[in-house]
Amino acid sequence: MGKMVRVMGTMMSQPTRAVLWTCQLMDVPVEFQIVDVSKGEHLTKEYLSINPTAKFPILKDGDFCLWESHAIMRYVAQKHIKAVDHLYPLDLQLRGKVDQWLDWKHSFLRPGAAGIVRRLVMSKLMKDISNHSMRYDLVEIPEEREARLLNQSLQVMEQQLSKTTYIAHSSSFTLADIALTTEIEQLSLLPCDQPPPFGSDLSTYPNIKRWLDAMRKVEGHERVHETLNKAIAKTHSKT
């Protein structure tokens, strides 16, 4: 077991969940510090001195601080890497594929999926979004763009997963699968009787469903999604 690190964030944050899941799989003990957005804790002078983007998560490893979830996941995986490690393979070509999908996710899947969920669900769940960046996104980013990016991303994933068991290759899941899973799970906040981009019914994406079912069985998935699952149940009970 490695030395304890501190992770700052919120369990409703897909990137935060991905980091915590990675730490658990790498057997890295975590002190989790919740960042209360409603109280503007991400806008304090102390917080901004660590992460000037006011986003989360943040990793503190001793005196070393790091933000951006994929950078944190790579750091944790490489610092605690084993002789043969499937999360972030030593083989450069396999690692390149993992990096490819991590970078793709932030450019395509996340803007689409997170955008739609924030617009249709999170903006209504949160009593006050005056301290949240979504107050700008909801005005500046067209819903049509978010819907298009989400649909395109799901089509790309479906095609890839028709060829490989996991998103980067077939041997085992990697950091890329962890990051993509936490993003796809957020869609469950949307109506379950409608297809994407405005619902979470993935029946038209059988390869994504098969992959997601497999990732839900990975150690740590249930634990890091506990808060989200409670929010999903609460949201659907109102419909």
Q: How many CB atoms lie within 10 A of CB 118?
A: 23
What's the whole-number mean pLDDT along residues 207-235? 96
The three-point CA angle 179-224-43 to 5° equals: 80
pLDDT > 70? residue 137: no
Q: Average pLDDT over the chain, rounded to whole?
A: 91
- Output the pLDDT for position 141: 73
Q: How many residues does the chain have?
A: 239
209's CB contacts (< 8 A; 6+ apart) are 202, 203
Tell me the pTM. 0.92
User: Residue 113: pLDDT above 60?
Assistant: yes
Report the DSSP beta bridge partners of residue 64: 61
pLDDT category at 145 given cuts 50, 70, 90 is very high
User: Can you tell me the mean pLDDT for 24-40?
Assistant: 92
Domains of the chain: 5-80 (3.40.30.10), 92-237 (1.20.1050.10)
Rounded-to-integer distance, Cα 37 and Cα 130, Å = 9
| Residue range 63-93, pLDDT digits in tens | 999 999 999 999 999 998 874 589 999 899 9
Long-range pairs for 215-223: beta carbons < 8 A, 24 or more residues apart:
215/173, 215/177, 215/178, 215/181, 216/181, 218/25, 218/173, 219/24, 219/25, 220/20, 220/21, 220/24, 220/25, 221/21, 221/181, 223/24
Residue 1 has pLDDT above 90, yes or no: no
